[in-house]
Amino acid sequence: MYQNYFPHEIRDHIKRYTDKISSYFNPYMQIIFHEYETDGWYERSKAYVAIERYLSKNSSTQAKRLKANVVKDGQSLVLTMDDHEEVTDEYKAEKVWWISSQQVANKQTISWYPREDEKRYFKLKFHRKNRELMTDSYLKYVLDEGKAISVRERQRKLHTNNTGDGGYRRRMWSQVVFEHPSTFDTLAMDPNKKQEIMDDLETFSKSKEYYAKVGKAWKRGYLLHGPPGTAVKDNTELRKLLIDTTSKSIIVIEDIDCSLDLTGQREKKKDEKEEEKDEKDVIKEKVKKLGAEKKQSEVTLSGLLNFIDGLWSAIGSERLIVFTTNFVEKLDPALIRRGRMDKHIELSYCCFESFKVLAKNYLDVESHDHFPEIRRLLEETNMTPADVAENLMPKSTKENADICLERLIKALETAKEEARLKAEEEERAKVEKEKEKKEKEKEAKNSEPLADELKENGKLESNGVKENGDASEV
């Protein structure tokens, strides 16, 4: 009835004055923490999340209605208080109240994009005499504790940049829970190189003060390259992705020689494929290219360099930037120089030490009679760790370590023989090419006297014709 007979302007004035009167006699103060930021990016407030994590320890014992979330690889259950619940907390012998509330939107709106009709928030209530204690000390304590709890309970997630133009409040990243069983212990590579990488990562993780001292962004770049075994449209979108990337992130650009088209490698492959197609197919492909011209990658080398160590790289901290490529020699030197890609790591063919890691992983053996033979073959031929692992993997329940190792030996011997035949064929082709070159040079040399003779005969004939012409005139 109150809302029906009084316009909202009058209701606002009445509420304003009643709030002033009640606050004058009310000895308690309130601070509101909204769930979502007000900058239009539709991101949850970091303060709200930290408070939610902090209150989870009191919610399970005090609140009557709880919300449950599964975190930490699905092994841990976190309980938080539901809407319109209240819990108490104490700090330095002073009591405070936390209330979880929500505000339902008065207007119903229709939108193509997701909106939050129920705006949730936390309300902190405390006595006004403790104002300085709450604002200067308690809130910092709550946020720090909440962040620490989040770190202990957080899940690793794999993020992929969203393609397309990106509409209103569209997230720049999509994510899935990252549960990969591989660790440094199961990584098949040279132990010395593995330890070097681990030491480098550990040193980086403890170097926040050092990076600040020397005036560098707290980041480190790694370039992974070796034998063969995600696209962003333009510099503006690349910058948006960087801004939307939080600290403690690992940013990976795979196959950078092709994915961002900075070397021409992709266009070269496309041109080679087009030459093999019929003329009609080529025309169709060109029409498709013209139709999708606006969607072509417009990321420039300058934009990528600014992303790595320019001004925009200073946004956020504790980042690892990883590039992978099979053609390191085709990358622009400015992109991979020291200081941008701090550490170059060559992932080469499988060595014996890498094989021992794979044998332990796949067969659970650390020594065997076949190991000396495998070591000799690995030193004489090239085989990637992926091919070695494929041969070590049992194909049925009846296969044991002996069968798998014998299969690997046969594969190595076959690869060695194929490499020998290929080398002999290349040598024969080289000899044949040299032979053809010498024959052509010999033919050219033998043809020189004949050419001189023909040239001389041509001069004599022309002189004879000239003399005959003079005689006829006489």
Please list the residues that pair with 454 across neighbouring strands.
none
Four-point Cα dihedral 296, 302, 307, 310, nearest 10: -160
Sequence-ordered alpha helix ranges (H) in 327-400: 333-336, 352-363, 371-380, 385-392
Classified as helix, coil or strand, 276 is: helix
How many Cα neighbours within 13 Å face the side chain of 227?
10
- How many secondary structure helices (H) and strands (E) does the chain include? 17, 12
Distances (CA, A) of 209 to 96, 307, 368, 391: 36, 22, 49, 47
With CA atoms as reference, report the closest residue to 225 among 114, 319, 88, 329: 329
Q: What angle do CA 123, 129, 131 make, to 5 degrees?
A: 50
Residues 6+ apart with CB under 8 A from 234: 297, 298, 299, 303
Residues recorded for the chain: 474
Distances (CA, A) of 397 to 169, 362, 364, 429: 52, 13, 15, 46
Q: Would you write out the chain's pLDDT as a tens digit for each of its 474 residues?
A: 556 666 767 777 777 777 777 767 778 889 999 988 765 455 678 899 899 889 887 777 777 787 777 665 555 677 778 888 888 999 999 999 999 988 766 555 554 444 455 688 999 999 989 999 999 999 999 999 998 888 777 767 776 666 555 454 455 566 666 666 677 777 777 788 888 888 888 888 888 888 888 877 788 887 887 776 533 444 555 555 555 556 677 777 777 777 555 544 444 444 555 555 455 455 455 445 544 444 444 556 666 666 666 555 555 566 777 888 888 887 778 777 776 777 888 888 889 998 999 999 899 999 999 999 999 999 999 998 889 989 999 888 888 999 999 999 999 999 999 999 999 999 999 988 888 888 888 777 777 666 666 666 665 555 554 555 554 444
Q: Round the CA-based radius of gyration of the chain to a whole number and report it.
A: 36
**Tokens 């690997």 sit on residue:** 408
Phi, psi of 38 (to 5 degrees): -105, 15
**Tokens 């002073």 sit on residue:** 94
- C-alpha span between 178 and 373 (Å, rounded): 39
Structure tokens, 121: 């928030």
Name all domains of the chain by residue range, CATH numbers in brackets: 2-155 (no CATH), 173-346 (3.40.50)
